[in-house]
Structures are given as structure tokens and as C-alpha cells.
Amino acid sequence: MSFSWMAWTLPTTLFFLTILALLIAMGVWEYLSPGGSPRTGVLRFETTRGDRLFVSLLGSAFIHLAWLGLGGPNLWWALAISVVYAIGVFRYV
């Protein structure tokens, strides 16, 4: 089976494997500690771990798209910004 039509480069593969690993890790975490520990952060409404993961992934996608549009194809800085953003979301949202 050839996936050449999808441009499966190493960064693309790592990106999707990372998302898969995050979803599996969150599923295991939810199984071991059900309920998602809801809390109210800076957005002033209750969020769970899954909500914060979704906001982190969505924000990271926009960070990467903005970087592609404004900075070009070198995405390592966008990755660093996305990691800092995700840490902030999990900490304060």
C-alpha cells in the first residue's frame, strides 16, 4: 500500500503519531482517574482534561497555519510555541 499521494514525510508522520499518542494517553488517564478533574480557569467556565487537550490541539493547528503563512515551511519554532501554548492551556484554562 503506497501513501505517496498523501506526502507522508517524517514530520507529517510524527505529527499524526503524536496526536495518536496523546489521545491514547488521555484515554488511559481517564480510565485510571475518571471524571477528568473539572476546574474553572481563566475562561471562567468548567473544563476537563479532554477539553483542555482539544483547545491545545486546535490552538496548535492555528499556530502552525499562521507560521506557514507568515514564516515559511520551517515549523520548528511553531512547534516550540505550540508546546508552550499547550502547557499554558493545561495550567491556566
The string over 60-79, giving b where at least 16 C-beta atoms fall within 10 Å of a residue's C-beta and e elsewhere, is: beebbeebeeeeeeebeebb
Query: Sorting pLDDT into bands at 50, 70 and 90, what band is 38?
Result: confident
Q: What is the mean pLDDT of residues 83-89?
A: 96
**Residue in the structure block whose three cell numbers are 510524527:** 14
Average pLDDT of the chain to the nearest whole number: 88
pTM for the whole thing? Answer: 0.79
What percent of the chain has a predicted confidence (pLDDT) above 70? 96
pLDDT higher than threshold 90 for residue 11: no
Q: What is the mean pLDDT of residues 52-57?
A: 93
